[in-house]
Amino acid sequence: MKEYDLAIVGGGPAGLSAGVYAGRRTLKTAVFETALPGGSMNWTTDIDNYPGFVHSTGMEIAAKMKEHAEAAGAEILNEEVMAIEKRGSGFLVKTAAGSEYSAKAIVLATGAEHRKLGAKGEDAFKGKGVSYCATCDAPLFRGKNVAVVGGGNTAITDALVLADLAAKVYIIHRKDAFRAEEVLVKRLDAAKNVQKIYNSVVLEITGDNFVKQMKIIDTTTKQQTALDVDGVFIAVGTAPASQLATSVGAEVDDAGHIKTDARKATTCAGVFAAGDVTGGPLQQVVTAASDGAIAAVSAHDYLKKAATE
């Protein structure tokens, strides 16, 4: 069984930043990431607010973060962590591949998962016109009619990506104004093939083998409308991936975010958490990277103190 000082679960900006700081403190460190290192950053086409990068893509920043973490000494493992068990003063990490690793401390940087609408037909047409990633799937809908559901930064960004490819883009929001950054909304206003639909929610997504139509209802007038679309892109937020935290006894709040103190320590000794899985008022690459740095330094201090006791 391979042994590590620190196991970091999640290779997004929080996990890779933790890898940099842990490596620089000479901790033998593993970063577990099932997707591309960088996590959901890889599916973000434009990042204009990460200090030092006036304009970049998520994939470019992710690649640099991975390179930096490896240069610092962190080992990146393309394995899905299925379970973490407390073993004596340390932890046993089990992966989907059947591998087992030991670690003296853990950083959970598991991020968040896409929230579902809960509309009828959503699950049935997932991958058949229903998508949660415009960056991934937008090219499949070139010249077609599509809808985006949501009102935050992700939804507006998705609509802008699709506007460059699709014939028509509907963006449906349950409130009367978008909550996205004003600069993004202004870009959306300039797109000629985008139609904004406010105060509306999705009732049903229908089709045959693929999506053909969606039914929406105006929450103020109760009027129902059918939109002929070939794709529905859902961007209604995320839910924290905190299952591993609860399995080792770390507490989460009512929304499922892992509870931490200022040093990113959870209520389970030796387990730290960073990034979107911890919530917070601002979930951005810059804040995730900051969290990861704090978590790694705290883990180092924890291990150093444990070694002297």
**Catalytic machinery residues:** 133, 136-137
Output the 3-class SS for 223-264. CEEEEECCEEEECCCEEECCHHHHHCCCCECCCCCECCCCCC
Task: Order across the sheet with 211-218: list the strands.
Answer: 200-207, 211-218, 224-228
Query: What is the C-alpha to C-alpha distance for residues 108 and 277, in angstroms, rounded to an integer?
Result: 8
User: Bridge-partner residues for 100, per DSSP?
Assistant: 94
Q: Where are the alpha helices (DSSP H) in the chain?
A: 13-24, 58-72, 134-137, 153-163, 182-190, 243-247, 285-308
Q: Cβ(215)–Cβ(226) under 8 Å?
A: yes
Q: Cβ(46)–Cβ(35) under 8 Å?
A: no
User: Bridge-partner residues for 232, per DSSP?
Assistant: 130, 147
CA 291 to chain centre: 15
User: Bridge-partner residues for 68, per DSSP?
Assistant: none
Query: What is the C-alpha to C-alpha distance for residues 117 and 137, in angstroms, rounded to an integer?
Result: 18
Query: What is the C-alpha to C-alpha distance for residues 109 and 276, in angstroms, rounded to an integer?
Result: 8
